[in-house]
């Protein structure tokens, strides 16, 4: 893989920050966008801008075609059975909230149990807490080992006939841990529970096949996949989506409206009320095309090589403390330096043009379990290089010596 050629396709990387060439290592928060994505967004507003599905004119027809093309592309990307099982949202968070507010409110009853894990992002905790409070249901949590791996034997103990939904993250955004979701799904289905997979991190690193996994729902975000912000995807099995009530009321999600009664549209439109984020959805198609062009396996191999190199280089630094050492993980490296506050380390790295994430990474319960306020997180993507990791290591070594 020609990383230099790939880097040239990402305009934002060609700049200096604080007088130093930018080293962008915050990819778990959001990935940068290739020029094709940026150009597609600009082209839409320059030549095609129109509302979709309802217009009879040429611009509306073109916009509708491009928008629905993205839906079909996402279907193939996730290996869904049909395009109608792909719902566009504004992100992973909205996808989870949609399921909680529709499937949850209809099918979760008092005394039922929902299982999540200690590794969850707040987006996969708070909506279920709200639902449990409303319904009188109980939220159960799978514990983890110090390595950041799930204690699956405890998951077995939590499962029962009371379990109605299991919602787990596929890949930890804070530690990079890859969870054995295929095993979790099979065990949950054995007791009759439905399963939602938070694929915000996994879809950018792993091959995800929703039919092979047999998950009931999967959510992800375009901006983690080299696409625009403000676009997300909810995959759901047709029979479940059809059984769920609408999430929001308004245009597009209706068949017929009278003052006495409204009938609702078919899926996916039943869950896409109002004017959607048309331009960004269209540009998202180019992001998936970029991934397909480079190849998921090539991307994964490159990122795994970067992670192994980073662990090797940073482990030599006196005061380097890795956080999360799961055997199966993606290219996310959380750490501390000499017990310094993560924010201080992050600011000193930024002064050298190196962008990382610091804090609790929207996983406060996980950090509490680990006995930490937060970590420094470096996360690698297809356009990162070993020389950038060398700069990270050199800068961290200076920071560690300064602390000593």
Catalytic annotation, residues:
362
Name the helix (H) or strand (E) containing 235.
strand 232-236
**Adjacent-strand bridge partners of 195:** 166
Measure the CA–CA gap between 375 and 378, rounded to whole angstroms.
Answer: 10
Measure the CA–CA gap between 121 and 192, rounded to whole angstroms.
Answer: 25
Q: Three-state SS across 168-221?
A: EECECCCCCEECCHHHHHHHHHHCCCEEEEECCCHHHCCCCCHHHHCCCEEEEE
Question: Is 33 within 8 Å of 248 (Cβ atoms)?
Answer: no
**Adjacent-strand bridge partners of 332:** 379
Measure the CA–CA gap between 186 and 208, rounded to whole angstroms.
Answer: 16
Burial of 321 (0-12, 13-18, 19+ CB in 10 A): middle
The gap from C-alpha 250 to its chain's centroid, in whole angstroms, comes to 27
Q: Give me the sign of the Cα torsion angle 331, 334, 337, 338.
A: negative
Contacts of 394 by beta carbon, 8 Å cutoff, 6+ apart: none
Q: With H, G, I as helix, E, B as strand and everything else as coil, classify residue 316.
A: coil
Q: Three-state SS across 341-360?
A: CHHHHHHHHHHCCEECEEEC
Question: Is 321 within 8 Å of 337 (Cβ atoms)?
Answer: yes
């Amino acid at each position: 893989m020609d990383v230099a050629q790939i880097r040239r396709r990402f305009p934002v990387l060609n700049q200096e920050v604080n007088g130093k060439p930018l080293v962008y290592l915050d990819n778990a928060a959001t990935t940068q966008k290739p020029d094709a994505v940026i150009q597609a967004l600009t082209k839409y507003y320059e030549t095609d801008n129109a509302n979709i599905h309802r217009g009879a004119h040429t611009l509306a027809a073109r916009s509708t075609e491009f928008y629905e093309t993205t839906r079909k592309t996402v279907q193939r990307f996730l290996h869904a059975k049909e395009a109608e099982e792909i719902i566009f949202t504004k992100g992973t968070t909205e996808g989870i909230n949609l399921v909680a507010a529709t499937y949850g409110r209809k099918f979760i009853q008092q005394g039922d149990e929902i299982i999540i894990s200690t590794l969850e992002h707040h987006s996969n905790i708070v909506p279920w807490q709200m639902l449990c409070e409303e319904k009188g249901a109980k939220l159960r949590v799978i514990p983890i080992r110090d390595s950041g791996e799930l204690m699956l034997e405890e998951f077995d103990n939590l499962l029962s006939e009371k379990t109605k939904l299991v919602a787990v993250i596929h890949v930890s955004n804070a530690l990079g841990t890859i969870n054995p979701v295929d095993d979790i799904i099979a065990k949950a289905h054995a007791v009759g529970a439905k399963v939602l997979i938070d694929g915000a991190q996994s879809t950018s690193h792993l091959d995800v096949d929703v039919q092979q996994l047999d998950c009931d729902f999967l959510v992800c975000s375009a901006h983690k996949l080299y696409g625009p912000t403000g676009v997300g995807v909810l995959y759901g099995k047709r029979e479940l989506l059809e059984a769920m009530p609408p999430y929001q009321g308004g245009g597009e999600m209706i068949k017929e409206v009278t003052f006495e009664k409204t009938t609702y549209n078919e899926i996916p439109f039943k869950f896409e009320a109002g004017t959607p984020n048309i331009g960004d959805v269209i540009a998202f198609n180019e992001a998936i095309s970029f991934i397909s062009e480079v190849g998921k396996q090539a991307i994964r191999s490159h990122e795994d090589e970067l992670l192994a190199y980073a662990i090797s280089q940073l482990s030599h630094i006196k005061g380097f403390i890795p956080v999360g050492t799961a055997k199966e993980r993606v290219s996310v490296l959380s750490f501390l330096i000499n017990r310094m506050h993560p924010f201080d380390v992050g600011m000193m790295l930024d002064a050298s043009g190196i962008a990382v994430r610091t804090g609790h990474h929207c996983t406060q319960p996980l950090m509490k379990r680990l006995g930490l306020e937060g970590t420094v997180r470096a996360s690698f993507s297809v356009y990162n290089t070993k020389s950038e990791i060398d700069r990270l290591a050199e800068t961290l070594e200076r920071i560690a010596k300064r602390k000593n």
